[in-house]
């Protein structure tokens, strides 16, 4: 029997853990069993004493680890392995490690395969999406280009419209915007600079990752082309926006002119004025696509107002105001409140020989001698005398006045142009004079040699300055240093000597600042 901590026992031998108080069981020898007696004769009872049977000792288990009892120091039980146990343990650990490695490789391979499959699916999806995006971007770009091209055509139609109520000063800006838009429309008409898109199809000969790379390359190329087509659309849209803004500015400029027409043509009938006002109100909300149509409608409304106003203003035969009693008189006074008959034509019109006449207009015979005398005296001082304008018929004056009205309106025209029947030129006694120095019909003529000479000496030849500087409240017209009226030497001299400047003042007639 052995005991724990026995130094005589080798450390690598198994030990038995012996419970405290354990006693071995003794086995006593017994006699061999007797042969069976004959069946017929019962055996006599044996006189030998019974054999004592003790409980067998538990058989030791080979290779079984036995727990040693705790040492008397109260420590944990200590385990001991045999050599074979240690070998088996090492082998088991090695097997477990190999199994773990193999399992890890299998798992890693499975994860890698799934990752590659996922990557392939993602790349295929990206390529499919990019294909759809490119189709959409191309359609959008083509639509933008078509819209820009259509807008250029609308601008062309609008630019072709001319007439009353338009601001010609605004036309160049619109033309420039139109040309810029046409340039862009031409440049972006077709897609350009697109990246070559590689084909991509599943190839069973290569792995999922290689297939994914092919689909990803296709998706990247498609996305680059999406960006290019988007830029094409954006460029067309920007050009359309700029052109649309120019169209709106042109409409607004025209509307400003139309508002002035409406203000000046208050004598037009209410219906036509309301129609024009409606067009003016619509300008701020007009879309660029409706530019040309809006201009057509607006122009029609302007023309209707002007026509209605002209009808209201059509003079009765002859000029406004009091009819002069003797139109042929050399001293006849014609102004905004004293008019001539529409059919009046001076009886003695002639072309003054030897006097340059820019428009070939005749004068009254009564003034020719004094005119030639004045021309000769001016020539003696080195000054040329020319006639810029002389006799005008009622119809001629009507044409001239209407032209000024179209450009400036009635109020503007009335400051410097007589209405037909109220023009001194119809008498054949009024001359617009010039000296050929470049200030014909301009205020600068007053500072030219001819202008200075006439202002100082014309009265000596029977001519008076009719529309002087600051005389507007009396004569009704702005300063015209070139406009001289023949009244005869006697009247002109008398006015000069008395310091009287106007015929209205000389004859005691009412001032004529307007048409009354």
Kindly tell me if the per-residue pLDDT of 353 is higher than 80.
Answer: yes
Per-residue pLDDT at 202: 81
Per-residue pLDDT at 76: 59
Taking all residues of the chain, what is their mean pLDDT, rounded to a whole number?
85
Kindly tell me if the per-residue pLDDT of 394 is higher than 90.
Answer: yes
* Lowest-confidence segment of 4-13, 106-115, 422-431 by average pLDDT: 4-13
pLDDT band at 324 (very low <50, low <70, confident <90, very high): confident
pLDDT band at 275 (very low <50, low <70, confident <90, very high): very high
C-alpha 257/C-alpha 244 separation (Å) is 20
C-alpha 130/C-alpha 218 separation (Å) is 9
Q: What is the pLDDT of residues 152-164, one digit of tens each?
A: 999 999 999 999 9
For residues 79-98, give the mean pLDDT. Answer: 84
When computed from its CA atoms, the radius of gyration of the chain, rounded to whole angstroms, is 63
Percent of the chain with pLDDT over 70: 82
Query: Using an 8 Å Cβ cutoff, are 254 and 301 in contact?
Result: no
Q: Cα 371 vs. chain centroid, distance in angstroms?
A: 66
Per-residue pLDDT at 492: 97
* Lowest-confidence segment of 120-124, 142-146, 458-462 by average pLDDT: 120-124
Per-residue pLDDT at 412: 93
C-alpha 457/C-alpha 378 separation (Å) is 10
For residues 436-443, give the mean pLDDT. Answer: 93
Per-residue pLDDT at 103: 77
Kindly tell me if the per-residue pLDDT of 38 is higher than 50.
Answer: no
Q: Cα 39 vs. chain centroid, distance in angstroms?
A: 135
For residues 315-328, give the mean pLDDT. Answer: 69
Pairing of strands 463-465, 483-486: antiparallel
The residue ranges of DSSP E strands in 310-380, in sequence order, are: 322-323, 338-339, 349-350, 363-364
Per-residue pLDDT at 215: 87
pLDDT band at 113 (very low <50, low <70, confident <90, very high): confident
Tokens of residue 231, six digits: 């830029």
Per-residue pLDDT at 90: 87
pLDDT band at 449 (very low <50, low <70, confident <90, very high): very high
Q: What is the pLDDT of residues 177-220, one digit of tens each?
A: 999 999 999 999 998 889 899 988 888 888 888 888 888 988 89
Tokens of residue 236, six digits: 């067309």
Residue 514: exposed, middle, or buried by beta-carbon count in 10 A (0-12, 13-18, 19+)?
A: exposed
For residues 359-373, give the mean pLDDT. Answer: 97
Which residues, other chains included, contact 487 with Cβ-Cβ below 8 Å and sequence gap of 6+?
330, 331, 429, 462, 463, 464, 495, 503
Global pTM value: 0.45
Partner residues linked to 433 by β-bridges: 387
Per-residue pLDDT at 99: 84
Per-residue pLDDT at 205: 84
C-alpha 240/C-alpha 262 separation (Å) is 32
pLDDT band at 111 (very low <50, low <70, confident <90, very high): confident
Percent of the chain with pLDDT over 90: 63
C-alpha 65/C-alpha 68 separation (Å) is 9
Kindly tell me if the per-residue pLDDT of 281 is higher than 70.
Answer: yes
Helix runs in 207-314, H state only: 208-264, 270-282, 291-313
Pairing of strands 430-434, 386-389: antiparallel
Tokens of residue 331, six digits: 């001293």
Query: Using an 8 Å Cβ cutoff, are 344 and 429 in contact?
Result: no
Kindly tell me if the per-residue pLDDT of 54 is higher than 80.
Answer: no
Q: Cα 180 vs. chain centroid, distance in angstroms?
A: 13
Kindly tell me if the per-residue pLDDT of 41 is higher than 70.
Answer: no
C-alpha 226/C-alpha 220 separation (Å) is 10
pLDDT band at 102 (very low <50, low <70, confident <90, very high): confident
Q: Given the structure tokens 């490695």, which residue do they identify?
A: 101
pLDDT band at 53 (very low <50, low <70, confident <90, very high): low
Kindly tell me if the per-residue pLDDT of 25 is higher than 60.
Answer: no
**Quick one: which of 344, 322, 349, 348 has its CA closest to 333?**
322
pLDDT band at 4 (very low <50, low <70, confident <90, very high): very low
**Quick one: which of 469, 495, 490, 472 has its CA closest to 481?**
469
C-beta contacts of 492-496 below 8 A and 24+ residues apart? 492/458, 492/459, 492/460, 492/461, 492/462, 492/463, 492/464, 493/459, 493/460, 495/459, 495/464, 496/459
Name the residue with higher pLDDT: 271 or 89: 271
Per-residue pLDDT at 42: 43
Q: What count of residues does the chain have?
A: 516
């Amino acid at each position: 029997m052995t005991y724990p901590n026995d130094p005589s026992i080798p450390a690598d031998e198994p030990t038995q853990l012996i419970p405290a108080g354990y006693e071995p069981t003794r086995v006593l020898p017994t006699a061999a069993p007797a042969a069976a007696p004959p069946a017929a004769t019962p055996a006599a009872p044996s006189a030998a004493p019974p054999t004592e049977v003790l409980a067998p000792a538990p058989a030791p288990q080979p290779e079984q680890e036995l727990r040693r009892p705790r040492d008397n120091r109260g420590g944990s039980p200590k385990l001991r392995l045999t050599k074979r146990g240690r070998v088996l343990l090492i082998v088991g650990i090695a097997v477990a490690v190999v199994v773990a490695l193999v399992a890890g490789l299998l798992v890693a391979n499975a994860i890698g395969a799934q990752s590659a499959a996922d990557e392939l699916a993602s790349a295929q999806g990206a390529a499919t999406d990019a294909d759809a995006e490119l189709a959409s971007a191309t359609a959008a770009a083509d639509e933008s280009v078509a819209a820009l091209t259509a807008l250029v055509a609308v601008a062309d139609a609008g630019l072709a419209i001319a007439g009353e109520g338009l601001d010609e000063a605004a036309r160049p800006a619109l033309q420039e915007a139109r040309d810029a838009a046409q340039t862009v429309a031409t440049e972006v008409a077709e897609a350009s600079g697109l990246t070559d898109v590689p084909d991509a199809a599943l190839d069973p000969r290569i792995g999922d990752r290689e297939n994914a790379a092919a689909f990803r390359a296709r998706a990247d190329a498609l996305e680059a082309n999406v960006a290019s087509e988007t830029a094409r659309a954006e460029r067309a849209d920007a050009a359309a926006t700029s052109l649309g803004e120019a169209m709106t500015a042109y409409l607004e400029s025209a509307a400003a002119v139309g508002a002035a027409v409406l203000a000046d043509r208050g004598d037009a009938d209410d219906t036509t004025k309301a129609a024009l006002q409606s067009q003016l109100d619509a300008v701020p909300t007009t879309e660029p696509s409706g530019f040309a149509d809006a201009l057509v409608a607006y122009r029609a409304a302007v023309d209707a107002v002007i026509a209605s106003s002209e009808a209201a203003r059509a003079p009765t035969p002859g000029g406004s105001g009091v009819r002069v009693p003797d139109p042929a008189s050399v001293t006849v006074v014609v102004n905004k409140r004293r008019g001539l008959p529409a059919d009046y034509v001076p009886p003695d019109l002639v072309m003054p020989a030897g006097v340059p006449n820019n428009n070939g207009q005749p004068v009254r015979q009564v003034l020719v001698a004094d005119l030639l005398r004045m021309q000769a005296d001016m020539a003696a001082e080195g000054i040329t005398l020319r006639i810029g304008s002389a006799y005008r018929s009622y119809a001629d004056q009507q044409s001239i006045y209407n032209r000024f009205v179209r450009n400036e309106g009635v109020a503007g025209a009335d400051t410097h142009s007589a209405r037909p029947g109220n023009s001194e030129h119809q008498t054949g006694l009024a001359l617009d004079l010039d000296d050929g120095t470049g200030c014909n019909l301009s205020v600068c003529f007053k500072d030219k040699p001819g202008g200075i000479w006439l202002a100082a000496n014309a009265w000596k030849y029977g001519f008076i300055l009719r529309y002087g500087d600051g005389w507007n409240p009396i004569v009704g017209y702005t300063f015209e240093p070139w406009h001289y009226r023949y009244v005869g030497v006697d009247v002109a001299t008398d006015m000069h000597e008395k310091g009287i400047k106007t015929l209205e003042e000389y004859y005691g007639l009412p001032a004529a600042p307007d048409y009354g």
